[in-house]
Structure 1
C-alpha cells in the first residue's frame, strides 16, 4: 500500500466584494487541493491553507509538488500519523533555513488529511468513526456562520439565520465606534438568546485590548477570538483573560504541540481552535483537541477555506462528540459551496453522510474555470 502519485491543483474563484478582516483582505477565494493515490487503487483528498498572503497559493502548491511529493512517493500510505511526524522532522531544518515553517507545515497538513481520507475509505468508514475513541462521537456537528462583516454584518447574519444557523461570528478590530455599532445591530437583529462571537484577527495591542473588549462586553459575546497577536507572551494573554469575563478563543495561528500545550497550561483560553490546513492536519489537531478537552476546554476547529478542509474539520469535531462548533464561512466561495455543499442544516446542526472517508470528491471538470496553471 505504497504512495504511487501525488497531484496538486490551484484554484482562484472571483468574488464580487473582498473578504476583509483586520489582518487583510482577499479579493478572490483561493484553494490548493491535493490528491494522493496509492498502489492498491485507494485515494484521498487534502487542502492546503493559502488565504494569506494573497499570492501564496501557487507557492504552496509548488512546495507540495517539488519538495514534499518526492519524499513520499514509494513510501507507506497506511500510517498517516507516522508520515506526518516523519515529514515534520525531515523538513524541520529546511523550514528554519528558508524561514518558512508555516508554508511547509501547511503542505504537510494537506498530505495528512489526504492519507486519513484514504485510510477511512479503505476501512469503508466515515472518517469521524475511524477516529472516534469516545462513546460521545456521532455524525452530528453544530455549525456557526463566520466571516460576517465588516459591512452589514447584521443583514448577513439574518440571511444565515434563515438558512438554519443559530450561532454567528462577525469581525471587529476596526474603529471602536464601528465595532460597537455593528455589535448593537447584531444583537438587535438576532435577539438576546443568539450566540454571537467576535473575531479581532489579532488587531489590538495589549494596552488597548482590555478597553475594547470591555466596551463590547455589554452585548454578551460568546467569545472574543484573537484579541492579541498570536505571538504575544503568555503572561500578556493571561493578564487579558483575568481582566475580562468574556471567554478568549485562539489557535489558528498556534503551531506545534509544544506551543499548544503551553497555551492550554497557561489557562487563558476557553476555546481552542487549531486549523487542519495550517498546522497538524488530522493527526496533529486531533491530539491537540483531545488534550484541550481533557483540560476542560472546548475544541472548535478553525476553517475559512474550501470544501475539503471544511469536511476534514467537521469529521475531526464529530470524532470527539457533539460539543463545540465548526466554523463555516458565510461569504460566497464556490470552492467550498461546489465541493462540500451544506444541505439540510436544521437548528444549527449538520449530519455528516455515512459514506467512507471525508465524504468529499471534488468535481475537477466543474472547477476547471477556476484553475490556475502552474509553471
Structure 2
C-alpha cells in the first residue's frame, strides 16, 4: 500500500494581459493570477497535483508546511475520510479562508492520486462521464465601464470561438454595449462582484431586465445576506448566480436547499475541492438549481472543475478567464478547441503541470 511521503505547495503567479490596464485586486493593481500548486508525493514516487486559492501565496505555503503536511504523512491516499478528518483537526484555526483553501488543494491532489493509482480518470471515479467535451464561456475581467474596451474584448472573445460571454461590470451602459456587439442570441452573463446593499439591489438589478441576461452574479453585499438574496429571487425575472464568496460549503448547501439561486457557483479552490463540488452537484440534481462552478484559474483546479462538469447530470459551460497568459497550462494536453475543452481518458486529472512551467519564473517554492 502506497502512503503519503511529502506534501508541499508551489506558488504559481501567471502574468496576464486582459486588454486594459491592470484591474484592482484588494485595492492594488493586479498583474498576475496567483494560486498555490499543492503537490502530494507518495512513497512509491507517484505525485498528485491540486490547486488552492492563494491571495497570499506565502501564507498558504507556510500553512501547508507547518499544519497540513504533519497530519497527512504516512496516510493511505485512497482513504476517503482524510479530508473530513483534516477539516475536523484544523477547525479551531478557521472554518473558511486560508484553512478551507488549503484543504481544497489537498482534496484535489488526493483525487488526482486516486485516479492514477486506479488507472482511471477522475470523472470515472465520479460515476462516469456523461460528456467529455465541456463548452466554455469567456469571462472578461473588469473594464470599469469603459465602453470601447468592453466592445473590443467582447468581439475578440467571440472571434476566439467562445459561444457565451460574461462581464465583470456594474454599468447598464457597458452591459448594453456588450449585448449590441453580441446580438440577441448569444448568452450574456454579468458578474457585479457583490455590488449592492439590501436597500439598493432590487432597484439596481431591475435596470438590467431589458438586456436578457443569462444570469446576474453576486449582486448583493455582503454575500452572506441570504435573506436579501431570497427577496431578490422572488422579485426579479433575471436568473441569479452566486456562491463563489460563500463562507463554507454548508452555506452553499443551504443556498441549494432553499433554491435561492438558479446557478450555484462554488469554487473548487475555495469550497473543498472535488469532494465538495460533487456533493453539491448531487444535491442540485433534479432541482431547479444548476451547479455552475466559479473557475477563474488555470491549474489543477480548472481540470478538477472540468471532471465534475463531465460527470454531473446537468450540462453547463465552464468559466474561462479571457486573457493572454505568460504560460497557458495544459494547452496541448487539454486544449481549448471548438469553443470548449476536450477531456482525455488518462488517469487522474488527465495532465500534470508542464515541466517547462514548473521550471519557469512563474513558479516558486
TM-score, normalization: structure 1? 0.88
Match of residue 182, structure 1, among 174, 183, 186: 174
Structure 1 residue aligned with 2:337: 345
Structure 2 residue aligned with 1:33: 37
Q: Cα offset for 1:154?
A: 2.5
Structure 1 residue aligned with 2:92: 93
1:48 aligns with 2:44: no
Deviations 1:193-244 (A, max 9, x none): 0000000111111221112211111111100000013544322111111111
Structure 2 residue aligned with 1:163: 160
1:138 aligns with 2:131: yes
Structure 1 residue aligned with 2:266: 274
Structure 2 residue aligned with 1:176: none
1:297 aligns with 2:292: no
8 A contact 1:22–1:201 mirrored in 2: no
* Most deviating of 146-155 and 245-254: 146-155
Q: Cα offset for 1:137?
A: 1.8
Check 1:60–1:284 CA distance in 2 against 1; reply closer, same or farther (3 A cut). Answer: same
Deviations 1:276-299 (A, max 9, x none): 111211111110111022333111
* Most deviating of 3-12 and 103-112: 3-12
Distance 2:265 2:318 in 1: 10
Deviations 1:88-118 (A, max 9, x none): 111001226xxxx310110011001001011
Deviations 1:168-202 (A, max 9, x none): 100123xxxxx122112111111100000000111
Structure 1 residue aligned with 2:81: 82
- Backbone CA RMSD of aligned residues: 2.2
Check 1:261–1:49 CA distance in 2 against 1; reply closer, same or farther (3 A cut). Answer: same
Distance 2:142 2:226 in 1: 29
1:354 aligns with 2:345: yes
Distance 2:160 2:255 in 1: 35
Aligned counterparts, 1:115-130, within 5 A: 115-130=110-125
* Most deviating of 224-233 and 304-313: 224-233
Greater fraction of residues in helix: 1
Distance 2:27 2:282 in 1: 29
8 A contact 2:48–2:110 mirrored in 1: yes
8 A contact 2:23–2:141 mirrored in 1: no
In structure 2, the gaps of 5 or more residues are none
8 A contact 1:230–1:254 mirrored in 2: no
* Most deviating of 159-168 and 348-357: 348-357
* Most deviating of 198-207 and 326-335: 326-335
Distance 1:344 1:288 in 2: 26
Distance 1:94 1:328 in 2: 32
Q: Cα offset for 1:250?
A: 0.7
Aligned counterparts, 1:238-257, within 5 A: 238-257=230-249
Distance 2:260 2:26 in 1: 22
Check 1:359–1:183 CA distance in 2 against 1; reply closer, same or farther (3 A cut). Answer: same
8 A contact 2:165–2:189 mirrored in 1: yes
Structure 1 residue aligned with 2:69: 69
In structure 1, the gaps of 5 or more residues are 174-178
1:210 aligns with 2:211: no
Distance 2:89 2:290 in 1: 32
Q: Cα offset for 1:164?
A: 1.6
Distance 2:304 2:243 in 1: 17
The SS at the match of 1:198 is strand
The SS at the match of 1:8 is strand
Deviations 1:246-269 (A, max 9, x none): 011011112434312221222220
8 A contact 2:107–2:273 mirrored in 1: yes
Distance 1:117 1:37 in 2: 11
| Count of aligned positions | 356
8 A contact 2:122–2:349 mirrored in 1: yes
Q: Cα offset for 1:126?
A: 1.6
Deviations 1:304-327 (A, max 9, x none): 123221111111111114611211
Structure 1 residue aligned with 2:107: 112
